Amino acid sequence: MMQVEVAYALPHEQKIISLQVAEDCSIYEAVIQSRIAELFPQIDLENDPMGIFGKGVRDAKNTILKPGQRVEIYRPLIADPKEARAKRAAKAKAEREAGDKA
């Protein structure tokens, strides 16, 4: 047996569950065993991306965990990061130009 963690975060709430799993436990199996989906019913175990310490993993069902690792379940992006950055830059530019005219 080995100790791992399963984590999920919302904008204003997060949960990290520590649990003991078998040595050959996959990311997916650890998430199931943690029962975190009972706390956060919006988690889609079959489709939500998962990773270890911030690095996404393509095949959660076949990626075996190592002792002490933290599994993370990622939420879908609400906005495209490139679009959001471009909007912020355009807004800042407009504010600078408005300030220059004042």
pLDDT of residue 11: 87
Amino acid at 69: Q
pLDDT of residue 76 exceeding 80: no
Q: What is the pLDDT of residues 41-57, one digit of tens each?
A: 999 999 999 999 989 99
Q: What is the pLDDT of residues 1-41, one digit of tens each?
A: 999 999 999 988 999 999 999 999 999 999 999 999 999 99
**CA 38 to CA 49: how far, in whole Å?**
18
**Between 8 and 99, where is the model more confident?**
8
Under the banding of pLDDT at 50, 70 and 90, the label for residue 82 is confident
CATH for 2-77 is: 3.10.20.90
The DSSP code for 93 is H
pLDDT of residue 101: 65
pLDDT of residue 68: 97
Tell me the two tokens of residue 26. Answer: 């996959």
Locate tokens 């906005």: which residue?
79
Domain ranges of the chain: 2-77
Q: Which of 51, 58, 64, 53 is nearest to 23 (CA)?
A: 64
